[in-house]
A and B are shown apart, each in its own frame.
Chain A
Amino acid sequence: MHVPDGFLDAPTSVATGVVATAAVAVALRGARRELDDRTAPMAGLVATFVFAAQMVNFPVGAGTSGHLMGGALAAVLAGPWTAVLCLSVVLVVQALLMADGGITALGTNITLIGIVTVAVGWAVFALLRRVLPSRLAVVAPAAAVGALLSVPVAALVFTGLFALGGNVPVDLGAVLAAMLGWHTVIGIGEAVVTGLVVASVVSSRPDLVHGARSLLSERELETRTIEIA
Chain B
Amino acid sequence: MSTRGFFVVALVVSLLVAGVASYYASSHPDGLEYVAEQTGFLGSAEDSATADSPLADYQTSGVDDARLSGGLAGVIGVVVMLVLSTGLFWLVRRRETADSEG
Which positions in A face B, CB cutoff 8 Å? 1-7, 28, 31-33, 35-45, 47-49, 51-53, 55-60, 62-67, 82, 85-86, 89-90, 93, 95-103, 155, 158, 162, 166-168, 170-171, 174-175, 178-179, 182-183, 186, 204-205, 208
Contacts and interface: CB of A to CB of B under 8 A. Distances in A.
Given A3-B32, A49-B17, A43 B77 contact: no
24 contacts: A1-B30, A1-B31, A3-B32, A5-B46, A5-B49, A37-B96, A44-B82, A44-B86, A48-B10, A48-B81, A52-B17, A55-B22, A56-B17, A57-B25, A63-B29, A85-B92, A95-B50, A97-B77, A98-B50, A158-B32, A162-B41, A170-B39, A175-B41, A178-B39
B97 to A, nearest CB: 11
B88 interface: yes
Interface string B25-65: 11111111011101111011111111101011110000000
Contacts of B43: 168
A205 B3 contact: yes
Given A48-B14, A158-B32, A98 B57 contact: yes
Dominant secondary structure of chain B at its interface with chain A: helix
Contact of A31 (B13, B49, B89): B89
B50 A99 contact: yes
B80 interface: yes
Nearest to A53: B17
B44 A98 contact: no
Contacts of B25: 55-58, 65, 67
Contacts of A44: 82, 85-90
B17 A6 contact: no
A31 B86 CA distance: 13
B72 interface: no
Nearest to A30: B92
Nearest to A96: B50
Interface residues of B, number: 62
A158 B80 CA distance: 29
A186 B31 contact: yes
A32 B22 CA distance: 33
B45 A7 contact: yes
A31 B88 CA distance: 11
Contacts of B82: 44-45, 48
B35 A182 contact: yes
B84 to A, nearest CB: 6
B26 A57 contact: yes
Nearest to B36: A7
Contacts of A57: 25-28, 30
A221 B41 CA distance: 57
Contacts of A55: 17-18, 21-22, 25, 58, 74, 77
